Amino acid sequence: MPDEIEPQHLLEIAGHHLGLVREYDPYQSFPGVTSREQFRELIRRDPAFAPLGLDDDRYLTARIGGNLVTSLHRKIGDMYGEMFAYLIGTRFGLTKGELSFSVQLRIGRRVQARSTDGMIPRAKIGGLALPRLPRKWADNEGIAFEVRSCYQIGDSKRIQADYDMALALKRKRLVPVMLVFCTTSLRSPLARLAESWVLFEGMDAFQFIRELTGFDLHSFLESSGEHLRSHVGAALSKL
């Protein structure tokens, strides 16, 4: 029997993943450096960078912030992935084992197992109307999902692997749906992936989740903005 979605649990998911970013040390790659000013001194002593004036605040922010922002984006992606899994797991009464589905993909010379970020068997969906999906989606065995906060991967092999994953899911008679929550993704990869995935981006992704689960995730995030921003602000303060 499906349980009721608990917003407090979603906040706990967000707090867990964003909290990990708060603990991130942007100076961990530089022994003995624990602050911005110590990093500035390190650059001032660097024979390659010091003559170029790279102890400039703008350079320091970009250099230190690059790894921090990468970590932040990764944890935001983990947050959305776990939130989505919780929503569909709760809405459709899915066990943890039922949520995932694996396919074998050849990536370069190796065969690797790739798991979906969520899967709903057709029998669990019942008579739910999902007008945004292809007309004959209900003739398949279910829906398989890939979830991204933002698609910022430019590596051609990784893009091809994501493209091929959708084809492998189709061979298993699963409708492949990719949810990309931001609107600032790299355009070329998304154009390519839209050829194999049913792809929802930005507010379309949030709207699809609302139609699928009955829960307005975007409104929830907006109403929880002060709490979420406190985590992000604490992480960015390290810059």
Phi first, then psi: what are they for 44, rounded to 5°?
A: -65, -25
CA 103 to chain centre: 20
In the numeric block, which tokens belong to residue 60? 């320091």
Please give the tally of structural domains in the chain. Answer: 1
Backbone angles phi, psi at 186, to 5 degrees: -65, 135
Judge contact between 14 and 223, C-beta under 8 A. Answer: no
Instruction: Please report whether residue 52 resides in a domain.
Output: yes
The answer to the question of residue 2 being in a domain is no
Query: Domain limits at 22?
Result: 7-236
Per-residue pLDDT of the chain (239 residues; tens, 9 = 90+): 467 999 999 999 999 999 998 888 888 889 999 888 999 999 999 999 999 999 999 999 998 888 888 889 999 999 999 999 999 999 999 988 888 888 887 766 777 788 899 999 999 998 888 988 988 888 899 999 999 999 988 788 889 999 999 999 999 999 999 999 999 999 999 999 999 999 999 999 999 999 999 999 999 999 999 999 998 998 888 77
Residue 130 lies inside a defined structural domain of this protein: yes
pLDDT at 129: 87
Residue 16 lies in a domain: yes
Computed on alpha carbons and rounded to an integer, the radius of gyration of the chain in Å comes to: 21
181 CB-near residues (< 8 Å, 6+ apart):
80, 148, 149, 150, 201, 202, 205, 206
Look at residue 25 in the predicted model and tell me its pLDDT.
86
In a domain, 1, yes or no: no
Q: Is residue 91 in some structural domain? A: yes
Structure tokens at 227: 């709490």
Q: Is residue 26 part of a domain?
A: yes
CA distances from 156 to 48, 93, 195 (A): 33, 37, 15
**Residue 94 contacts by C-beta under 8 Å, 6 or more apart in sequence?**
88, 120, 124
- Decide if 180 contacts 150 (C-beta within 8 A): yes
The interaxial angle of helices 36-44 and 57-92, nearest 10 deg, is 130
Contacts of 236 (CB under 8 A, 6+ apart): 68, 72
The whole-angstrom separation of Cα 49 and Cα 131 is: 57
The gap from C-alpha 205 to its chain's centroid, in whole angstroms, comes to 12
Confidence at residue 2, expressed as pLDDT on a 0 to 100 scale: 60
What pLDDT was estimated at residue 167?
94
| pLDDT at 1 (0 to 100) | 47
